[in-house]
Amino acid sequence: MREAETLLSELKVILNTKGNIEVEYNNVPSEDFIEAMNKKLPEYENTHIIAAFMKRVRRLSLTYYNDVNKLLL
């Protein structure tokens, strides 16, 4: 059972009520993640590993986001 959740990255392709496709992308910047973790849980040893993972996910998500938007034009 999870005690808490924090959404780090999200990419959605949505069909809106007008029948149009929309693409939404949100993420926590890895620098903000590192800063928050260092303040709240400085003893947590995986902060930089997760931040590196977040950077990779961001690059992949932005590529996907841009490719989907090209299809919609």
| Tokens 């996910």, residue located | 57
Residues 32-40 have a mean pLDDT of 96
- The three-class DSSP label of residue 41 is coil
Residue 73 above 80 pLDDT? no
Residue 1 above 80 pLDDT? no
Q: Where does the chain have alpha helices with state H?
A: 30-40, 47-72
Phi, psi for 36 (deg, rounded to 5): -65, -45
**Which tens digit of pLDDT belongs to each residue from 39-63?**
999 999 999 999 999 999 999 999 9
What pTM was computed for the model? 0.80
Structure tokens at 25: 């992308």
* Cα–Cα dist 51/30, whole Å: 5
